[in-house]
Amino acid sequence: MPETTTPSRNAAREVRHRVTRGGERFWKHSDFSGLPASAVSQALSRLARGGELQRVHKGLYYRSRPTVLGPSRPSPSAVAEKGSSARLDAAGLTAANLLGFTSQNPARPEYASSAQAASRALRHASVHTRRPANRARLTQTEGALLEFLRDRGATSDLDQPRTCQRLLDLLKDEGSYARLAKAAHAEPPRVRAMLGAAGEQLGMPERWVEGLRRSLNPLSRFEFGTLGCLSAAKRWQAQ
């Protein structure tokens, strides 16, 4: 009699088919929606035992590629990003590198997360927790920009004029600036002040810039650090 093909066996074959044709990448159970969860779990475990996948974290697998030094290995930063259930934004030197302010890569990648505590998947990274949850609609670049402003540009390896010009170049898109201006209302006042100063210098629509100004205590003064070279810094209460 012909061999009976069960749904679980079909699912296992589909998982293997996708993995073997997917090239170098990470795989999660959620990548196989529509297939029986138990069959997906068993198939991924079987592929890991057979050496076709590497299990890098609970529920996270990596498909390597051959190199002259042997199979490729996932970077700790990539494992951290893929293994976290909360949004992660680049922070510190990691953010400065992403944004083009430095060519340095920190020994431990640095992130900011809205989570109350860092997950075990991030044990190889430095994580700032409890960031505002309203960054959800921002791009990764925009999230990194908020972190860069929190640091007052201190992680830039460029001189002051070039740091400010690079920041302005990154903020000149009106759609991006509008999203940042909205998200910044949950950020520290100094971030709103620096973003407002940059927006004024760029000639951004008054409704966004004035919204930031009205959110500030007019008696407060803010340390702009490296970003004190923004032409409107003094009008935005820079020390």
Both 114 and 63 in a single domain? no
Residue 43 structural domain: 7-74
Both 69 and 82 in a single domain? no
Instruction: Determine, yes or no, domain membership for 217.
Output: yes
Cα–Cα distance measured from residue 115 to residue 122, given in angstroms and rounded to the nearest whole number: 12
Instruction: Determine, yes or no, domain membership for 110.
Output: yes
Instruction: Determine, yes or no, domain membership for 2.
Output: no
Half-sphere exposure of 143 (CA within 13 A, CB side): 21
Name the helix (H) or strand (E) containing 82.
helix 76-83
Q: How much of the chain, in percent, has pLDDT values that exceed 70?
A: 94
Both 155 and 107 in a single domain? yes
Quick: pLDDT tens for 138-156: 998 999 999 999 999 999 9
Both 218 and 123 in a single domain? yes
Instruction: Determine, yes or no, domain membership for 139.
Output: yes
Of 53-67, 94-108, 188-202, the poorest mean pLDDT is in: 53-67
Q: Which residues are 71's β-sheet partners?
A: 66
Single out the residue of 108, 82, 89, 110 nearest to residue 24, CA to CA. 82
Instruction: Work out the pLDDT band at 166, boundaries 50, 70, 90.
Output: very high
CATH number at residue 30: 1.10.10.10
Both 85 and 181 in a single domain? yes
161 near 145, Cβ under 8 Å? no
The tokens 């002040």 sit on which residue?
193
Among residues 74, 96, 114, the one where a domain terminates is 74
Cα–Cα distance measured from residue 212 to residue 214, given in angstroms and rounded to the nearest whole number: 6
Quick: pLDDT tens for 14-39: 999 999 999 888 898 889 988 999 99
Instruction: Determine, yes or no, domain membership for 1.
Output: no
Residue 102 CB burial class (10 angstroms; 0-12, 13-18, ≥19): middle
Both 96 and 66 in a single domain? no
Query: Mean of the per-residue pLDDT values for the chain?
Result: 90
Put simply, whether the predicted model's pTM sits higher than 0.75 gets the answer: no
Both 223 and 149 in a single domain? yes
Indicate whether 80 pLDDT > 80: no
Both 58 and 94 in a single domain? no
Both 54 and 82 in a single domain? no
| Number of structural domains in the chain | 2
Backbone angles phi, psi at 128, to 5 degrees: -95, 120
Both 11 and 99 in a single domain? no
How many residues can be counted in the chain? 239
Q: Is 74 helix (H, G, I), strand (E, B) or coil?
A: coil
